[in-house]
Amino acid sequence: MLNSSAHTQQWIELNQILVKDGEKVILNIPHAKIHFDQMSALIGPNGAGKTTLLKLLHGLIEPDTGTIYFSNPALRKALVLHHTAMIKASARTNLALVQDSDRSISNQEIEQALKHAGLAHLADWPAQKLSAGERQKLCLARALLQSPDLVLLDEPTANLDPNTTEQVEAMMRQYKQDGIELLFSSHQLAQVKRLAEQVIFIAEGEIQEIAKTSEFFSYPKTLAAQRFLSQELIQA
């Protein structure tokens, strides 16, 4: 049984989860309980199942078998995927799309969100012309407008330069300070050490370890994690 720290309030419990594509098993999680009082990072090799797990936790995809329990069934979740499509319209219009699903979001809140994301000067700019970093900030702002309790982020700073990475990380820290729980996937282990208090390590579709970040990097328990980390050290 995989269990993250036991003294927390919000958690998600996965039981007998299988996600398949035809005969191919993409996720196989007999049991895991993930607590969300800490910023959490989802790490693992390419193709391990990180994006699929984020989509599953969000509810964007259903498991083939198994159940997912939330400590709070009304938990509001937002998902920021690595490549988010933009419609051919301004940054403001793309942000305002959230009003389609939540009519209570005011135009004033849209303007505030643009400002907080540092995008006020680009509000009328075509979204397709935004840089990767500006797009990502827009996606984070869009997630925040949904008043989520938990934000799931898929590689939030992939392809971003160090300065923009820092800005996105600052937004993530701010979320956390505002009481929003965060789970992000990343291939940047230095970033994971900087931001995350808890690591969820996944390999070959299976959650192998859930541990405090410092413990995971100092004393990885599973062979899969030891191999993963030693390869990273060789590549560094």
Binding site for ligand ATP (CB under 6 A): 21, 26, 44, 46-52
How far out from the chain centre does Cα 44 lie? 14
Which residue in 112, 166, 165, 84 sits closest to 123, CA to CA? 112
- Shortest CB 156 distance to ligand ATP, Å: 13
Q: How many whole angstroms separate alpha carbon 210 and alpha carbon 119?
A: 36
Residues 6+ apart with CB under 8 A from 232: 189
Burial class (CB in 10 A: 0-12, 13-18, 19+), 5: middle
- Shortest CB 24 distance to ligand ATP, Å: 7
Q: How many whole angstroms separate alpha carbon 146 and alpha carbon 185?
A: 20
- Shortest CB 21 distance to ligand ATP, Å: 4
Q: How many whole angstroms separate alpha carbon 52 and alpha carbon 16?
A: 16
- Shortest CB 78 distance to ligand ATP, Å: 18
* Closer residue to ligand ATP in complex, CB, 59/170: 59
- Shortest CB 81 distance to ligand ATP, Å: 10
229 to each of 4, 73, 110, 224, 226, how far by Cα in Å?
A: 20, 35, 42, 9, 5
b/e per residue, 217-226, with b = 16+ CB within 10 A? Answer: beebeeebbe
- Shortest CB 84 distance to ligand ATP, Å: 15
